[in-house]
Amino acid sequence: MSNHPAMMPLDLYRGDDYVMQVRLWSDIAHSIPIDLTGVTARAEIRQGTVVMVLDVTIALPNLIDIVLDSDDWTLSAGSAHWDLQLIFADGMKYTMLAGAVAIGGDIVQ
């Protein structure tokens, strides 16, 4: 794994539900899955001092589901940043994905 996260910007609409799946591979050909046994994952979106924690689950061997439920929104329209961090069984922390977040304002509430 590299020392820097892959950049993945998000474009979200405030108040909507989102589901994202990430599959991790050891090789460029995507034929060897990264074994996520014993790994925990966290994902957050931060807007200034406000943090919105996303629901993250791991399905072995290499799938990560990230969910943002419409009822969990704490951020306002505007810009923010996010990342996905993996914590391996040996305690090593690795930020896999990160990026800017554009949050559009909802009209119907």
**What CATH number does residue 81 fall under?**
2.60.40.10
Q: Is residue 109 part of a domain?
A: no
Rounded distance between C-alpha atoms, residue 11 and residue 45, angstroms? 12
- Residue 2's pLDDT band (cuts 50, 70, 90): low
Determine, yes or no, domain membership for 54: yes
- Residue 3's pLDDT band, with cuts at 50, 70 and 90, is low
- Cβ atoms 76, 14 nearer than 8 A: yes
Distance CA 95, CA 82 (A): 11
The dihedral sign for the CA sequence 43, 20, 101, 106: negative
Query: Does 31 fall in a domain?
Result: yes
End-to-end CA distance of the chain: 42
Domain containing 25 equals 6-104
The domain tally of the chain equals: 1
Q: What is the pTM of this model?
A: 0.88
Q: Convert the pLDDT of each residue in 43-92 to its tens digit.
A: 999 999 999 999 999 999 999 999 999 999 999 999 999 999 999 999 99
Structural domain includes residue 12: yes
1 domain-assigned: no
